[in-house]
Amino acid sequence: DTEVTQTPKHLVMGMTNKKSLKCEQHMGHRAMYWYKQKAKKPPELMFVYSYEKLSINESVPSRFSPECPNSSLLNLHLHALQPEDSALYLCASSDPDRGFETQYFGPGTRLLVL
Amino acid sequence: QQQVKQSPQSLIVQKGGISIINCAYENTAFDYFPWYQQFPGKGPALLIAIRPDVSEKKEGRFTISFNKSAKQFSLHIMDSQPGDSATYFCAADNSGNTGKLIFGQGTTLQVKP
């Protein structure tokens, strides 16, 4: 099973709302990622968790707060977002014991900030 | 030096034709070069990947050609089909590092029936 699941599929939120995105994988991967993707652009790395510890934060604004409760779950907490944060948010996972190599992506959450 | 340059930005090919997408990199520490395929509204999916110790890798209709001295690699899609219409991203990574993929800017492929 090479599936990464993400919920919700779509999310509309106001600039004062607090919401969370959820990602789950059962491949035994110990690295998980959050990406942001704008239309017709490549995915842009936001955060990397390796063995449940935050290993990379690509200078993401604090209104995005990641959390890795266990090796299968990854959350992204959203607060006071701006309209320019509207994008497709992708989760991915990989196996650091194999040099991280292949990243498996979920279908994404389409976020619209009003 | 961390960039991966991808061309063309868009490509239109007739059904049955060959689609060719090119990428170039500068960082010689890169040692893993995957290609991802992304359909509208979906996440990217790994299509095929190569390491610099081989010059070519083929999986079905998809072939990666790799030129280490020129620091270039390309994706060839043989017998292109309308179902291949998607956005293709090349990427590069220094495996064993952090898993930080460096993506090219993407190529939108349209295969006409």
Measured between CB atoms, which of A40, A100, A110 is closest to B95? A100
Which pLDDT score is estimated for A96?
A: 78
pLDDT tops 80 at residue B75: yes
Q: Would you say B64 and B35 are in contact if contact means Cβ atoms under 8 Å apart? A: yes
Q: Would you say A37 and A108 are in contact if contact means Cβ atoms under 8 Å apart? A: yes
Which pLDDT score is estimated for B80?
A: 98
pLDDT tops 70 at residue B95: no
Q: Which residues of B touch A42 (CB under 8 A)?
A: 89, 103-106
Measured between CB atoms, which of B36, B44, B100 is closest to A45? B100
Q: Which residues of A touch B34 (CB under 8 A)?
A: 102-103
Give per-residue pLDDT as tens, B5-58: 999 999 999 999 999 999 999 998 898 999 999 999 899 999 999 998 999 999
In this structure, the strands spanning A73-79 and A64-70 are antiparallel
Q: Note the residue count of chain A.
A: 114
Buried b (16+ CB within 10 A) or exposed e, B11-44: bebeeeeebbbbbbbeeeebbbbbbbbbeeebbb
Binary contact (A99, B42; C-beta < 8 A)? no
